Structure 1
Amino acid sequence: MYKKVYIAIDESEFSKQALTVATKIAETFKASLCIAHCINNDDLESSQEAGLEVLEKAKSNINGLEIETKLLVVDDQYGLNAISMAIAESATEWKADLLVVGTSNRKGLERFFSGSVAEELIKKVDCSIMLVRIS
């Protein structure tokens, strides 16, 4: 069913759980896996080093899959929109069948003020999206 599974990660717990789910899906369907991580363009050199570390750590825990990693540079002044746009463009360019995204379980005012990258991605991608939520 899925040939190309794309996941955007950060260092959060819900992101780690989403990576586990994306890996299981890729294994089940013998699909390629692309792991992406967004970094801020303000301090590109140190952000790039830290971002590559995050990707390598995620990749090192997965065996037996074809894995590609992508480091996405975003302009922090545009907030969630810049992050969701970078992920959506990258997933589309990579021709992902499935985009897996970890999301928190925020509700009420907290969700209203902080928004959600996952919520923005739903509006921007044409492939299937799986939201992995922890409570």
Structure 2
Amino acid sequence: MTEILLGRILIATDGSEKNRAALDEGIIIARAFGSIVYAVYVIDTGTFSSMSGDIPLGDTYTVFHTEAEQAFARIKSQAGDVKVETSILEGHPAAEIVKFALAKKIDMIVIGTQGKKGLERLLLGSVAEEIIRSAPCKVLVVK
């Protein structure tokens, strides 16, 4: 049996429009190679420490989960016949993405250069840069 070159592709999403190009590219590649797509949304628990104590944590999790499900719905509708598995992770985004890639034996991670934080992630983006440095596989960064 022949092994597929890029059998497992992880597409990291934060649900933002800035991430759309990475999503599009990841789906195109997955379709071309017959890959399984693992769509991952990471709830950055580090943001909780900087939040106001007035906001109930349960409400925040609900917002993040709703956002993740909307992002996954977009990926699945775009993927068509490409198999998509989704996962919501919690923690530091780069570390969680790399850990997931190791666990699932991912062949390539597809990420955008910028997420929601805009200026904070100028140039390459802090999450993208961390993933590139520590990923166990190929990384495609899409502008």
Runs of 4+ in 1 over 3 A off after TM superposition: 109-112
Any conservation in 2 of the 1:14–1:132 contact (CA below 8 Å)?
A: no
Q: Is the 8 A contact 2:13 2:19 kept in 1?
A: yes
1:33 aligns with 2:23: no
Q: Which residue of 2 aligns with 1:47?
A: 64
Q: CA RMSD in A?
A: 2.2
TM-score scaled by length of structure 2: 0.75
SS at match of 1:69: strand
Contact 2:12 2:111 in 1 (8 A): yes
Determine if the alignment matches structure 1 residue 88 to structure 2 residue 105. Answer: no
Aligned to 1:16: 20
Output aligned runs, 1:1-135, within 5 Å: 1-41=5-45, 42=57, 43-74=60-91, 82-104=92-114, 111=122, 115-133=125-143
Of the two, which has the highest radius of gyration?
2
Unaligned runs of 5+ in 1: 75-81
Alignment-mate amino acid for residue 72 of structure 2: L
For residue 11 of structure 1, report the CA deviation from its aligned partner: 2.7
TM-score, normalised with respect to structure 1: 0.78
Matched residue type, 2:63: S
Q: How far apart, CA to CA, are the structure 2 residues paired with 1:128 and 1:97?
A: 6
Query: Which sections of structure 2, spanning at least 5 residues, go unmatched?
Result: 46-56, 115-119
Aligned mates of 1:65, 1:9 — CA distance in 2? 17
Number of matched pairs: 121
| Identical counterparts, % of pairs | 26
